[in-house]
Homo-oligomer: A and B are copies of this chain.
Amino acid sequence: MDTTDSKATGSKATDQNALGGIDPATVSRLRLAIARIHRQMVQASSGQGLTFAQLSALARVEQHGPLRLGELAARERVAASSMTRTLAPLTAAGLVGKAPDPQDGRSWLIEVTAHGREVLAEIRRERSEMLAARIGGLTAEQCAALHAAIPVLEALTDEPE
């Protein structure tokens, strides 16, 4: 019903805004909620083709065109070695291409393939059952609040630079 939650946050609304943020206890709730949703998403989508790490990297490559492996790793906020591992099944499956960088013989340019785009589109259409089902159980107000927050959550993933 109410999406504001009086228990832990309502009483702090003023000094929360004074700081331009959200009080620590509420941030903790957000942390826990994100961790738990993530765990359940991973469980719900295990064995459905791409893992989360692969999906995230593939979506990043699709969005930001050809990227060197190191750039991709930096944008995904993982070590280069992690990205090497994440990409291996994607290249093996033909979802991304790996071409030698003409400007630097040590480097590669990673780009999504046509097949990779198809797979991504399919995943976007079909692979959110668990989350979509739970969202379907929300009230219209809750749904609106969540919808409004999605771009904010995306902003939180961006570099603070």
Once the chains bind, are B140 and A20 in contact (CB under 8 Å)? yes
Alpha-carbon distance between A32 and B76 when the two chains are bound, in angstroms: 11
Q: Which of A8-42 contact B (CB under 8 A)?
A: 9, 16-17, 19-22, 24-41
Main SS at interface, chain A: helix
Contact of A150 with B by CB under 8 A: yes
Measured CB to CB, the closest approach of chain B to A151, in angstroms, equals 4
Contact of A99 with B by CB under 8 A: no
Alpha-carbon distance between A152 and B148 when the two chains are bound, in angstroms: 11
Once the chains bind, are A29 and B156 in contact (CB under 8 Å)? no
Which of A52-60, A64-72, A90-98, A103-111 forms part of the interface with chain B?
A52-60
Once the chains bind, are A143 and B22 in contact (CB under 8 Å)? yes
Q: Which of A141-161 contact B (CB under 8 A)?
A: 142-143, 145-157, 160
Once the chains bind, are A9 and B55 in contact (CB under 8 Å)? no
Contact of A4 with B by CB under 8 A: yes
Measured CB to CB, the closest approach of chain B to A116, in angstroms, equals 15
Q: Find the B residue at minimum CB distance from A29.
A: B150
Chain B hits for A19, CB < 8 A: 136
Chain B hits for A21, CB < 8 A: 132, 135-136, 138, 143
Contact of A128 with B by CB under 8 A: yes
If A30-B150, A146-B149 are given as contacts, then 14 extra A-B residue pairs at C-beta distance below 8 Å, sorted by A number, are A2-B151, A3-B152, A21-B138, A21-B143, A22-B143, A24-B132, A26-B150, A27-B131, A28-B123, A28-B127, A34-B34, A39-B77, A138-B152, A149-B153
